[in-house]
Amino acid sequence: MDLFGDLRRMNKRQLYYQVLNFAMIVSSALMIWKGLIVITGSESPIVVVLSGSMEPAFHRGDLLFLTNFHDDPIRAGEIVVFKVEGRDIPIVHRVIKIHEKENGNIKFLTKGDNNEVDDRGLYKEGQNWLEKKDVVGRARGFLPYVGMVTIIMNDYPKFKVCIQTF
């Protein structure tokens, strides 16, 4: 597999055609992703479940489809994806308790279905409730185990290198 040798044997027109095809694929994927962001209102419209904390509802490797419409109120029992300050990876858990203040502000508490305790230990220090600003999206649908490829590539970096060489 001599990639550079193949490139040297191409004439300029073939090389330009290959570069243009690659650019079209990348830009199409980016446009689809940005379109999904606009349509769903979520900064990340698709996420992969990375742990077993939501079993039996969702399993590790399930691909979730999210929406995040700001005028839609959060309800107890709903599955949300949220980000906590100081953590890079969003968390997928169920809302178990809603706390509404007199001024209309809503705070809520989450817990993984497969966890013994609520998520206060996961929130930043001193934070007991999540707010609407912490929510990345709400689960609206899923495809089972489709995201396992992502998990395998994260868990086994050598596999990722093997895939990249082909």
Of the residues 6, 28, 62, 119, only one is catalytic, namely: 119
53 is a catalytic site residue: yes
Catalytic choice (42, 62, 93, 134): 93
Q: Establish whether 70 is a catalytic residue.
A: no
Spatial separation of the C-alpha atoms in residues 149 and 128, rounded to whole Å: 34
Catalytic annotation on 93? Answer: yes
Quick check: 107 and 119 in contact, CB under 8 A? no
- Residues 111/57, Cβ–Cβ less than 8 Å: no
Nearest to 46 by CA among 56, 55, 54, 36: 36
d(CA 159, CA 6): 25
Residue 145: CB atoms within 10 Å:
15
Tracing tokens 């817990």 back to the chain, one arrives at: 111
Torsion 4-10-11-13 (CA) sign = negative
Set 42, 53, 62, 134: catalytic member: 53
- The catalytic residue positions are 53, 93, 119
